Amino acid sequence: MRLLTVATERGPRACAERDGRYVDLNAADPAVPSSVRDLLAEGPEGLARARQAASTGSVSLDPKASRLLAPVPDPRKIICLGLNYRDHAIETGAKIPEEPILFSKYPTSLIGHEAPIQVPKVCHEVDYEAELVIVIGLPGRDIPASEAMDHVAGYAVGHDVSARDWQLRKPGGQWMSGKTFDTFAPVGPYLVTADEVPDPHSLGIRLRLNGRLMQDSSTSQLIFRVPETIAYLSQIMTLEPGDLIFTGTPPGVGMARKPPVWLKPGDVVEVEIDGLGTLRNSVEARP
């Protein structure tokens, strides 16, 4: 099932894609929450109810007339891993990490499919990073790796936009500030439920900038895979329904190129992951 959040006059609405249209799940069955995060909090029973509503619902929206938000527009946490692809670590000359390298983004950085990435005047070296995003379903703390996949609701395409001048050249290295400017976390177009992704570690992942292929790898290159990542994070914090985990980027990023390639107004970035769709965002100067 493909879950989306659509902006409507009644506010954000949880929808499912069916036959090229978006079915309003709450309109089909009032027992289904109108929020994707609240829907995920109901666990497998809630997803089963949503599937039934998606198959029978008659209230649908035309994608051409719909504005998509991030699939989970109000997560309580956005957790990110750095240097989590072997080929990317080699590209940057970094040592393969022995434990996950963590940083965070905030919900104000989230945007959806086709929303513009806005570059502030204070950022001069803005980079692109294609990423697989894990979406948490069942909550948990101290989750064993052997049980971690039970806590995954699904997966989405993500783009970890990064201001390298802030991330790497501010005093002490400011990963958080370089990563969490407003609009620097596009996710979408939808959340694909875990039952439709048999192996998240064998997915092709690509990024195109103005139609030019810049990143082309596979999630098989992940250093810390989904179960290990969830187990590690849940030692630190309780994972909650709707939490987003950005799992790192493959090689080909702009800062590693000679000369470097930075995002600029007028660019169009597409991130594609096999089976999860294509996330497209334009780039503009922040008004």
pLDDT the model gives residue 70 = 98
Running DSSP on this structure, what letter comes out for residue 45?
H
**Would the pTM count as exceeding 0.85?**
yes
CB–CB of 207/215 below 8 Å? yes
Q: Looking at per-residue confidence, does 171 or 245 come out higher?
A: 245
What are 175-182's contacts with CB under 8 Å, separation 24+? 175/82, 175/103, 176/103, 176/104, 179/80, 179/103, 179/104, 179/105, 179/109, 180/104, 180/105, 180/106, 180/108, 180/109, 181/109, 181/120, 181/123, 182/108, 182/109, 182/118, 182/120, 182/286
Average pLDDT, the chain: 95
In angstroms, the CA 218 to CA 225 distance is 12
pLDDT digits (tens, 9 = 90+) for 202-235: 999 999 999 999 999 999 999 999 999 999 999 9
155 pLDDT band (50/70/90 cuts)?
very high
pLDDT digits (tens, 9 = 90+) for 242-278: 999 999 999 999 999 999 999 999 999 999 999 999 9
pLDDT the model gives residue 50 = 97
Residue type, 177: S
pLDDT the model gives residue 189 = 98
Running DSSP on this structure, what letter comes out for residue 4?
E
Which contiguous run of DSSP H or E holds residue 37?
helix 36-41
pLDDT the model gives residue 91 = 77
Question: Residue 73: is its pLDDT beyond 90?
Answer: yes
pLDDT the model gives residue 57 = 87
Average pLDDT over residues 136-155: 98
Q: Looking at per-residue confidence, does 94 or 78 come out higher?
A: 78
Task: Delineate the domains of the chain, giving CATH numbers in brackets.
Answer: 2-68 (no CATH), 78-285 (3.90.850.10)
pLDDT digits (tens, 9 = 90+) for 81-121: 998 998 777 777 778 889 999 999 999 999 999 999 999 99
pLDDT the model gives residue 266 = 98
pLDDT the model gives residue 33 = 97
pLDDT digits (tens, 9 = 90+) for 8-62: 998 999 999 999 999 999 999 999 999 999 999 999 999 999 999 999 988 889 9
